[in-house]
Chains A and B, each alone.
Chain A
Amino acid sequence: MANDKVSKISKRYEIPIGPIHPALKEPIRVEAEVKGEKVVKVDVKRGFAHRGIEYMGMKRNAIQTLYLSERICGICSISHPYAFVLASEKALGIEPPPRAQYIRTIIAELERIHSHILWLGVVAHEIGFDPILFWTWKLREKVLDVLEAITGNRINYAMYMIGGVRRDIKESHILALRDMIDYYRKAADQMKDIFLSDPIYKARTKDVAKLSQDLALKLNIVGPTARAAGLRVDIRQDIPYDAYADIDVRAVVPQDIMGEVNGDAYDATLVRIYEIEQSLDIIEYCINNMPEGKLLAIPNYVALLTTIRKTQGEGIGAHEAPRGEVIHYVKYDGTRDGPVVWKVIAPSYNNINCWGPLLLGAEVADIPVVIAFIDPCLCCNDRIAFVKDENGRVLDYFEIHNMSVNKTMKIKRMLGV
């Protein structure tokens, strides 16, 4: 092919990263054209993990949809229900009891701790630092044990309910939480020691994935990635909800810690390690000031579903997930007991936009770091799928259905069934 020859003469290689690649934990495709070790052209293609979960949710009742939303992503298995519950409560006009609000906040912060530690391990793995991956994930076991003790499972906690929470935090759990806080205070210091002072970690992450404030604002970057670029954005600070309204949460930005902002992967590490400490402070405040009271505004699920069937309304719920802000839009129209419209916006959707500009001009060795530093969650990300024919025309539902039927017929003919 003529194209091949040209690329051979100019010594350009096309490096296909994904949909299956060791640097990726979930499917996405990055097509990078490299010249030597420099990336000269890059294209990011998404849409490998679309599951039509929003459509499924709009066919079920609200309680079922809440638990479907928990299955959007395994690591954010509190973030999506949290946003859904907040949106639903706004739409239905339910106020959760104060104790439930505090318990929700504790669980959400526990999830942030485990997600951030997981990220630290993943980024270490991407630069070939597997022993640190094992070490950080060993540390992560503690918070998973605590979550298991409180909620009954290590992930997919099934804790939230519209108008409250399903399980109480008992005295024994509080003891375990205090023990865990001490453990992670020490572990966070160790992590600072090991990550921030390691010479090769520094060499591999300093000035890599350098996101400027302007670019971050332009591309609408959210979460720790934006905070690493020096932007003070944090839903817990900007639109406080639940127990965060009682706690003065401030966005963790590198300029407060180190005095300067680089916006690189090293700063992202810094922000995440300090956010673990911030989460510990929030949990400690919550257990010390936990109000007494009931757990659910409407304890009977049947009554809750009846309320939903009778209520018209819409609401937007925003929660600061470990990866950034996750936003759910829910609309109830008073005819059925589930949402008629359910829309999910996950943080990775915004954050993946920065891969293109950051990868351009980077080295091949930096590709995994750039991919990992935003902590991409691709199953949160794919909300819609287009199927195009060879002319680029978008096929609609009936055409795809017909094509599937025809293919089945063809296979049947081939097999002689």
Chain B
Amino acid sequence: MPTKAMFLMIRQLLQRPFTNPFPVKYAPKNVTKTIEKVKLGQMSINNPIPVPDGFRGKLKYDPERCIGCRLCITVCPANAMEWIPEVRKIRHYVTRCMFCGLCVDVCPGKKLPGETAPVKALSMSKEFLLADYDKYSDNLIVEPTSKEQSLNNQEPSSDQK
């Protein structure tokens, strides 16, 4: 018996699929190899659907602008910010972050010489592909300084813990 649903299905058969084939149309035979190939640039993947302005992705941190006011630590609901007393900056754990953007709202920022208005130290990027094997990988911890430097700085203090 033909029903309305049946006509709908036939109509959809004639249309293009709605799915965005991100990252690849079909599951590859070897996922790790595919990822390596993409990293090396030998293979291209389909792009995800573009995100709008104001999208709340991974947090960006500019330690130059950070005045160490600790307001972001006060408001962060997930306690994703850690205070580093030695350098008076913060460290951000992306795996704990709930992407509410309160820290960006509350950040006062710093006016560098020659600027008219202060620029915030924290901002939300559009980056949302954050899957990783390790929750403490470099990609998922936003450090005030570059990784090598901070490692050198951190070693004595982590031993003390």
A-to-B contact residues, CB < 8 Å: 60-61, 63-68, 70-71, 129, 131-132, 135, 138, 141, 148-149, 151-153, 156, 158, 166-167, 190, 193-194, 197-200, 301-302, 305
Contacts and interface: CB of A to CB of B under 8 A. Distances in A.
B105 A152 contact: no
Contacts of A302: 71, 74, 106
**Chain B binding site: helix, strand, loop or mixed by DSSP?**
loop
B146 to A, nearest CB: 29
Nearest to B76: A64
Contacts of B87: none
B56 interface: yes
Contacts of B76: 64
Nearest to A197: B4
A64 B106 contact: no
A167 B101 CA distance: 11
B80 to A, nearest CB: 11
A198 B3 contact: yes
A61 B76 CA distance: 10
16 contacts: A63-B75, A66-B77, A70-B100, A132-B5, A135-B12, A148-B51, A148-B52, A148-B55, A152-B54, A152-B56, A153-B99, A156-B98, A158-B101, A197-B4, A198-B4, A301-B71
B56 A199 contact: no
Contacts of A156: 98-100
Contacts of A60: 77
A115 B56 CA distance: 22
Contacts, number: 75
A301 B5 contact: no
A206 to B, nearest CB: 16
Contacts of A301: 71, 75, 102, 105-106
A60 B8 CA distance: 51
Given A63-B102, A131-B9, A152-B101, A199 B55 contact: no
Interface string B42-83: 000000000110111000000000000001001111100000
Interface in B1-41: 1, 3-5, 8-9, 12, 18
Given A63-B77, A199-B1, A302-B71, A158 B8 contact: no
A67 B98 CA distance: 9
A154 B37 CA distance: 31
Contact of A194 (B5, B55, B77): B5
Contacts of B74: 61, 302, 305
Contacts of B9: 131
Contacts of B52: 148-149, 152
Contacts of A141: 18
B5 A198 contact: yes
B75 A158 contact: no
Most buried by A among B1, B5, B54, B74: B5
Most chain B beta-carbon neighbours within 10 Å: one of A132, A138, A153, A190? A153
A199 B3 contact: yes
A234 to B, nearest CB: 30
A194 B11 CA distance: 14
Q: Choose among A66, A67, A71, A151 the residue with the greatest number of B CB atoms under 10 Å from its CB.
A: A67
Contacts of A63: 75, 77, 102
Nearest to B100: A158
Given A61-B75, A198-B4, 11 more contacts: A64-B75, A64-B76, A66-B77, A67-B102, A71-B98, A152-B124, A158-B56, A158-B100, A194-B5, A194-B8, A301-B105
A132 B5 CA distance: 8
Given A152-B101, A302-B71, A167 B54 contact: yes
Nearest to B75: A63
A140 to B, nearest CB: 11
B43 to A, nearest CB: 28
Contacts of A197: 3-4
A158 B5 contact: no
A52 to B, nearest CB: 15
